[in-house]
Amino acid sequence: MSKHVVILGGGLAGLSCGYELVQCGHRVTVLEREPHVGGMASSFIEDGEEYWTQDFGPHRFHSQDANLIGHVRDILGDNVVTAQRLSRIVLFNKFFDYPLVMKNVLTSMPRWLLVKALLDYAWVRFLDSTKLRKYDDVSFESWTTRRFGRTLYKIFFGQYTEKAWKMSPSQISADWASQRITLLSLWDTIKKTMAKPKKGETPRTLVTEFIYPKYGGIGELPRGYARRIEESGTGSRVLTNAPAVKIHRDGMHVTGIEYGKHERQVIEADEYVNTIPVTALAKCLAPKAPESVIKAADSLEYVAIVFVYLKLNRPQVSPDSWVYLPEKHLTVHRISEFKNFSPYCAPKDKTLICAEITCRRGDEIWRASKDKLIELAEKDLMSVGLIGKGEVLGATIRKIPFAYPVYDLEYKKHLQPVIEYVSGLTNLKTTGRQGNFRYNNMDQSVEMGRKLGQELCTGEETGHAAVATGQEYFG
Ligand SMILES: Cc1cc2nc3c(=O)[nH]c(=O)nc-3n(C[C@H](O)[C@H](O)[C@H](O)COP(=O)(O)OP(=O)(O)OC[C@H]3O[C@@H](n4cnc5c(N)ncnc54)[C@H](O)[C@@H]3O)c2cc1C
């Protein structure tokens, strides 16, 4: 029997879930707050005399799962290119491969610093193995120092993390390190990047190629899902400019969603799927959730990002999909160049750089004027020699308020009661990056959404909640 399912949030998790539901004949209504679908995987297109696209920072679809790649190809149709993966770190005005490659570290790091790094790595290993000093795996700082030594930790991981998260790495959970640092220690880096693979062993490859839309930016994927949902013949709709503001309930049974910017409406369904921040969900229940749950939700924080897009009068800045800028004196922490994802993202003789600056909602950066932000980004990129004077042709600013869930040392303690409470809602399931407060990638949001959709179709458990909970490398 066909059901009506209301999905909160039109990002990849919500839309991929909706896509699966319409495949088995259910009617879906997606409520999306913004005027466009895509969430963090949105793209903005300028299609006038020249054609430009902008994503929210770099969006490289990595997955080793052939089925998933096949599915994404199916959604994108023939609007697809294969791009080469390259991302590096700029330090001491030189490029370092990321993930680290030992030969490159040895040749590019100042000699004295290299000696210091190797000595203190040996010292940290000695202290740790003799238990003279205990390095635990609780904080990012301790996890990384234990494996790379103090100097390499500071240069390659610590200063970048502090800049990107706007907090001390000693206060960030080691969960983030284990999912984001592919090589497990300095020794592992040496072994895997210097030694020749043994006979029969496949050489170490990170995902070296990835697929990306030829035109339209990564936002073509969510737009593709939205089209498929609306054209499914099930009467399904994807509503934009439709923020969910209240979740009405009778006990733990959801009875309807109140939504709308100015005029409010209530929509009722058989089942509900949530992909908006779980903290927001917990706070808009009517009647209200217990005070302890609201307090826990208020204790969970997010890093926000300001994106400065600079149109440049040159064909390319670097061949990288993105470049990290960890040095403390720079405000920007990462840049990406969309032309290296698809050459059609900018005119042939020009390019566009997206400079990211993390902040907290309401702080000085969040409130800074457009001119100030452009000036900061231009100055930083000139100071590391990535762009020259007078090359900027124009600039745009965009912001996302809930970019990175903050994995501080206490986050699990606060998250648990929130997830536990909303899991008690009998006809609502929460999923996706925001719906789980989980720092996952696009492929994982798609997997979660599809698995949940399939579960609602068949009634059989698919394990959607377990996606991206392991210690696997997220890329
Ligand atoms: C800077 C940056 C770079 C990234 N790079 C990569 C990368 O290279 N590779 C990769 O795989 N992943 C990358 N990611 C992660 C990827 O973007 C996310 O994992 C994925 O897009 C999350 O999809 P989602 O649907 O789970 O969440 P979201 O995209 O956040 O979707 C949630 C949706 O809910 C909507 N919403 C919020 N509140 C309401 C409300 N009250 N009512 C209705 N709608 C609401 C939002 O507008 C949004 O559309 C990156 C993320 C960022 C921020």
Task: Please tell me the predicted confidence (pLDDT) of residue 184.
Answer: 61
With a 6 Å cutoff on the Cβ, whether 219 touches ligand 1 is: no
Shortest-distance Cα residue to atom 4 of ligand 1: 59
Task: Please tell me the predicted confidence (pLDDT) of residue 261.
Answer: 94
Q: Which residues of 153-167 are buried (b: 16+ CB within 10 A; e: fewer)?
A: bbbbbbbbbbbbbbb
Distance (angstroms) between ligand 1 centre and the Cα of 452 equals 17
Measured in degrees and rounded to the nearest 5, phi and psi for residue 239 equal -100, 125
With a 6 Å cutoff on the Cβ, whether 326 touches ligand 1 is: no
Distance (angstroms) between ligand 1 centre and the Cα of 376 equals 26
Distance (angstroms) between ligand 1 centre and the Cα of 433 equals 7
Q: Which atom of ligand 1 is nearest to the CA of 356?
A: 1
Q: In the chain, what percentage of residues exceed pLDDT 70?
A: 92
Q: How far apart are CA 218 and CA 321, in angstroms?
A: 13
- Tell me the mean pLDDT in the region 439-450: 96
Task: Please tell me the predicted confidence (pLDDT) of residue 196.
Answer: 59
Looking only at Cα atoms, what is the longest distance across the chain? 71
Shortest-distance Cα residue to atom 37 of ligand 1: 276
- pLDDT averaged over every residue in the chain: 92
Strands 334-337 and 351-359: antiparallel
With a 6 Å cutoff on the Cβ, whether 59 touches ligand 1 is: yes
pLDDT exceeds cutoff 80 at 188: no
pLDDT tens per residue, range 24-40? 999 999 999 999 999 99
Given strand 351-359, what is the order of strands in its sheet?
A: 94-97, 87-91, 322-324, 334-337, 351-359, 302-312, 392-405
pLDDT tens per residue, range 365-406? 999 999 999 999 999 999 999 999 999 999 999 999 999 999
Do residues 74 and 68 touch, judged by C-beta distance below 8 A?
no
The position carrying tokens 């390259």 is: 86
With a 6 Å cutoff on the Cβ, whether 31 touches ligand 1 is: yes
Shortest-distance Cα residue to atom 49 of ligand 1: 39
Do residues 210 and 67 touch, judged by C-beta distance below 8 A?
no
pLDDT tens per residue, range 338-360? 999 999 999 999 999 999 999 99
Do residues 242 and 400 touch, judged by C-beta distance below 8 A?
no
Distance (angstroms) between ligand 1 centre and the Cα of 215 equals 20
Do residues 444 and 421 touch, judged by C-beta distance below 8 A?
no
pLDDT exceeds cutoff 50 at 330: yes
Task: For a ligand 1 pocket test, name from 15, 40, 433 the mutation site with the most ligand atoms within 8 angstroms of its C-beta.
Answer: 40
The band of 194, judged by pLDDT with boundaries at 50, 70 and 90, is: low
pLDDT tens per residue, range 165-174? 889 999 998 8
- Tell me the mean pLDDT in the region 252-261: 98
pLDDT exceeds cutoff 70 at 87: yes
- Tell me the mean pLDDT in the region 205-228: 90
Task: Please tell me the predicted confidence (pLDDT) of residue 473.
Answer: 45
Structure tokens at 201: 């062993």
**pTM for this predicted structure:** 0.93
Task: Please tell me the predicted confidence (pLDDT) of residue 128.
Answer: 86
Domains of the chain and CATH, by start? 4-39+217-300+408-466 (3.50.50.60), 100-194 (no CATH), 302-405 (3.90.660.20)
Amino acid at position 176, single letter:
W
